[in-house]
Amino acid sequence: MRRPIVVALCLSGAVTLSACQRSPDAEVQRALKDVNVIDESNLSDIMLTVGDPEEAVSYFQRTAEQNPDRIDLKRGLAKSLVRAGRPTEAAAVWRTVVAHPQVTNDDRVSLADALIRANEWSAAEAELNKVPPTHETFERYRLEAMVADSKKNWKKADSFYEIAAGLTTKPSGVLNNWGFSKLTRGDAPGAEKLFVQALTYDPTMFTTKNNLVLARGAQRKYELPVVKMSQSEKAELLYTMALTAIKQGDVSTGKQLLREAVETHPQHFETAARALAALEA
């Protein structure tokens, strides 16, 4: 009479053992899932920084389609589209992000950025107006400055540029934009000062060096500024200064600068040589 009880106990023990043996597997699966999430997060970061822009777009499109409820993947797709030079598509994706319950103020700022890149200034301004004034970030004020600039509201633009420059440790880009704004208004001395300041933060920005030459040329300062430059850059800057001089009627100075540009360039400087030949003819 005791044997069935023993068998039953053995069977019960087998079931319990089986359950205990399955538990580690479940833990392993959960651990693997966590690792996959970490790996995916790292891959997303790589795609948004050093990955090929078009490959990043494909990655985020595919992953977002597989996980339609994940707002982080939509953000990644929108950012990768901006990097790929497709701002109109990026703006469309950002609109789906701002319609999500987990939308943030940074998302609205990013939408405004994409709209500006797509030349939709009024829509960008409308989005920035939805961001509360307490959201004080570099990106927000950089875009506010650009919008004010587009409307020729110089006082407001200057205020926003100044705030933006103070909110980042790398203000070279915003200082360059501010300087170019000053240059288009006819304030060449103010522009020159801002370009010089921008180069103290990033001496490698050729665009800023070129803008600095334009600002100096507008004041008829036809000597190159004392900034770090390669031989090729020096030739290009001499060419820019030559054209500035010619446009202002200082043709003989322009010719001399073109000759210097041709002589300075480490290779044949076709554009400068052609301009010089046309003037001498």
* Residue 8: HSE in the Cβ half-sphere, 13 Å Cα cutoff: 5
Does residue 234 surpass a pLDDT of 70?
yes
Structural domain boundaries in the chain: 47-127, 230-281
Q: What is the pLDDT of residues 2-29, one digit of tens each?
A: 444 443 433 344 333 334 444 555 554 5
CA 78 to CA 20: how far, in whole Å? 46
Three-state secondary-structure class, residue 47: helix
Q: What is the pTM of this model?
A: 0.79
Task: For the chain, report the end-to-end CA distance as a whole number of angstroms.
Answer: 123
pLDDT of residue 42: 65
34: pLDDT confidence band, cut at 50, 70 and 90? very low
pLDDT of residue 53: 86
Three-state secondary-structure class, residue 167: coil
In the predicted model, what is the mean pLDDT of residues 87-99? Answer: 96
Q: What is the pLDDT of residues 100-148, one digit of tens each?
A: 999 999 999 999 999 999 999 999 999 999 999 999 999 999 999 999 9
Residue 210 and residue 240 in contact, taking contact as beta carbons nearer than 8 Å = yes
In the predicted model, what is the mean pLDDT of residues 22-47? Answer: 53
Q: What is the pLDDT of residues 162-214, one digit of tens each?
A: 999 999 999 999 999 999 999 999 999 999 999 999 999 999 999 999 999 99
Q: What is the pLDDT of residues 62-75, one digit of tens each?
A: 988 998 889 999 99
Q: What is the pLDDT of residues 252-264, one digit of tens each?
A: 999 999 999 999 9
* Helices 251-264 and 270-280: angle between axes, nearest 10 degrees: 150
52: pLDDT confidence band, cut at 50, 70 and 90? confident
pLDDT of residue 43: 65
pLDDT of residue 69: 87
What class has domain 47-127?
Answer: mainly alpha
